[in-house]
Amino acid sequence: LKRIKIKELLLSKDFGSEVNVKGWVRTKRGNKQINFVALNDGSTINNLQIVVDVPNFNEDLLKKITTGAAISVNGKLIESTGSGQNVELEATEIEVLGVADPEKYPLQPKKHSLEFLREKAHLRFRTNTFSAVFRIRHAMAFAVHEFFNKKGFYYMHTPLITGSDAEGAGEMFRVSTLDPKNPPLNEDGSINYKEDFFGKETNLTVSGQLEGELGAMALGEIYTFGPTFRAENSNTTRHLAEFWMIEPEMAFYDLKDNMDLAEEFLKYLIKYALDNCMSDLEFLSKRLQEEEKGKKADEKSMELIEKLRFVLENDFVRLTYTEAIDILRNSKPNKKKKFQYLIEGWGADLQSEHERYLVEKKFEKPVILTDYPKDIKAFYMKQNDDGKTVGAMDILFPGIGEIVGGSQREEDLDKLLTRMKEMDVPAEEMDWYIDTRRFGSATHSGFGLGFERMMLFVTGMGNIRDVIPFPRTPKNAEF
């Protein structure tokens, strides 16, 4: 018999036909005459109901059909009267492929907390919530490639092991084959990295941007999409030590072109999810309502989906850092004086409560902030004529904060070299980068989207550890 995936089967009208399905048991209920097994094979959030006529089957076999067991079922497709689906399968033959001892299997047919499931991260794929999240993650990754491919951008692979620190923040994981207990030393007692595998100090990349610029200044428009690594000791619901970033880089784009592309891109991803992942989104929307907000889910409880549609249908607000600071200063100081530190003056970086105020209270929409003070941004950003700000743009999303960071790049050789010196960026080791400004330099821009932050927004999940299969955070690198 031909194996058919449950997603396809649930749409079938081929009643009376014989098919085979394989999957994992979610629940079994019933009585001495008839059993109902909810089977899931990962192709959809929806389970297939298997109807088992008990007297026709071996008792020992039926005992092994417990939550988590893998089974193969041959059966006849019938129209359903009450399972919530149009279709169910009347079993004619059942084989238990792999048992899951109910005494030992950690996932029971009840709701487990996300914290509990994080402890059981190797099994959490088998829950509705995580299978929905990871199906959407796949769809989002596919949509990234589709968007850029349609626009004629080239997908460029940049190295994971590099000698540079693109962001200049010093948050790098060192890559070395030296014996940490007994490294070769220079005469002054410092470690001799000439003896290391690459003959110099290397680290895991924090961003593919600098290499991406090399590609853009020849191929025109490129994007990277790969893992990036930051040894940032921030234990928050928004930070990972290993996260995936999408970094488009475009020759002949100025800051406005850059913002337009970023807004179009984010909306494309959201639209793709709405067009292709609706049953998973509906499930997650209900989950959000019931589990996070403690309300009963009903037809009107599609807040997550409404929020996605709202972002799709509205222009992002665009304003400068300086305008944002004025808004924050003039905002009514709340009782805890959250915004007080801004009184210290123009030039401070925004903290998450300031971002939240702008996107969630003041505008209630995504906000693109531009023209930040140069001293809180990276060396490669284009310096504005005021001598104080750079052509940066960050996109802030409701509930998330910063989701995109980007800029127009400094294209002028002398200005770039001066800025590198001021910021202690080792120009002598980055000749390859500086050559883009020596030969055929031109206006160019790019940005980075944190893939997991986008996943948080689209799925409504609250913790970044729950939207990546194997999270890496401080003191946590299981598997």
Q: Does 209 bind ligand 4AD (CB under 6 A)?
A: yes
Q: According to the binding rule CB under 6 A, does residue 253 interact with ligand 4AD?
A: no
**Contact letters (x/-) for ligand 4AD, 82-121, by CB under 6 A?**
----------------------------------------
Comparing CB distances to Mg ion, the nearer of 68 and 405 is 405
Please choose, out of 11-19, 146-154, 404-412, 432-440, the segment that lies near Mg ion by the rule CB under 5 A.
404-412
SS3 assignment for the chain: CCECCHHHHCCCCCCCCEEEEEEEEEEEEECCCEEEEEEECCCCCCCEEEEEEHHHCCHHHHHCCCCCCEEEEEEEEEECCCCCCCEEEEEEEEEEEECCCCCCCCCCCCCCCHHHHHHCCCCHHHCHHHHHHHHHHHHHHHHHHHHHHHCCCEECCCCCEECCCCCCCCCCCEECCCCCCCCCECCCCCECHHHCCCCCCEEECCCCHHHHHHHHHHHCEEEEEEEEECCCCCCCCCCCCEEEEEEEEEECCCHHHHHHHHHHHHHHHHHHHHHHCHHHHHHHHHHHHHHHCCCCCCCCCCHHHHHHHHHHHCCCEEEEHHHHHHHHHHCCCCCCCCCHHHHHCCCCCCCHHHHHHHHHHHCCCCEEEEEEEHHHCCCCECECCCCCEEEEEEEEECCCEEEEEEEEECCCHHHHHHHHHHCCCCHHHCHHHHHHHHCCCCCEEEEEEEHHHHHHHHHCCCCHHHCCCCCCECCECCC
What are the structure tokens assigned to 327, written together? Answer: 């808004």
41's contact among ligand 4AD, Mg ion, none, with CB below 5 to 8 A by partner kind, is none
Identity of residue 178: L
* Least distance CB 383 / ligand 4AD (angstroms): 16
Between 405 and 460, CB nearer to Mg ion? 405
* Residue 23 contacts Mg ion per CB under 5 A: no
Closest approach, Cβ 44 to ligand 4AD, in A, equals: 29
* Stretch touching Mg ion by CB under 5 A, among 191-199, 204-212, 306-314, 402-410: 402-410
Of 248 and 405, the one with the shorter C-beta distance to Mg ion is 405
Q: Which is nearer to Mg ion, 23 or 405 (CB)?
A: 405
Instruction: Find the part of the chain contacting Mg ion (CB under 5 A) among 141-149, 188-196, 400-408, 449-457.
Output: 400-408
Up-side HSE of residue 425: CA atoms within 13 Å toward CB? 21
**Token pair belonging to 349:** 């970086």
Burial 91-116 (b: 16+ CB within 10 A, else e): beebebeeebeeeeeebeeeebebee
Closest CB to ligand 4AD among 71 and 467? Answer: 467
Stretch that binds Mg ion, among 82-90, 288-296, 359-367, 397-405 (CB under 5 A): 397-405
Q: How many residues bind ligand 4AD (CB under 6 A)?
A: 23
**Residue 401 in the binding site for Mg ion (CB under 5 A):** no
Strand partners, 165: none
Q: How far is the CB of 255 from ligand 4AD (least distance, A)?
A: 12
Asked if 405 is part of the footprint of Mg ion (rule: CB under 5 A), the reply reads yes
By C-beta, is 9 or 455 nearer to ligand 4AD?
Answer: 455
Q: How far apart are the first and last CA of the chain?
A: 37
Query: Is residue 27 within 8 Å of residue 37, measured between CB atoms?
Result: yes
Question: In the bound complex, what is the minimum distance in angstroms from residue 258's beta carbon to ligand 4AD?
Answer: 9
Site string for ligand 4AD, 401-420 (x = CB under 6 A): -xxxxxx-------------
Q: Which of 450, 455, 461, 468 binds ligand 4AD (CB under 6 A)?
A: 450
Confirm if 96 and 71 have CB atoms less than 8 A apart: yes
Pick the stretch among 242-250, 261-269, 317-325, 342-350 that binds ligand 4AD (CB under 6 A): 242-250
When binding is defined by CB under 6 A, the residue of 126, 137, 356, 453 that contacts ligand 4AD is 453
- Name the segment binding ligand 4AD (CB under 6 A); options: 82-90, 121-129, 174-182, 444-452: 444-452
Candidate list 26, 124, 126, 230; residue touching ligand 4AD; CB under 6 A: 230
Binding to ligand 4AD by residue 167, rule CB under 6 A?
Answer: yes
Task: Decide whether 137 or 230 has the Cβ nearer to ligand 4AD.
Answer: 230
* 401 vs 405 by CB, closer to Mg ion: 405
Q: Does 471 bind ligand 4AD (CB under 6 A)?
A: no
Is the Cβ of residue 325 or residue 350 nearer to Mg ion in the bound state? 350
Binding site residues, Mg ion, CB under 5 A: 405
Binding site residues, ligand 4AD, CB under 6 A: 166-167, 207, 209, 230, 232, 239-240, 243, 245, 247, 402-407, 446-448, 450, 452-453
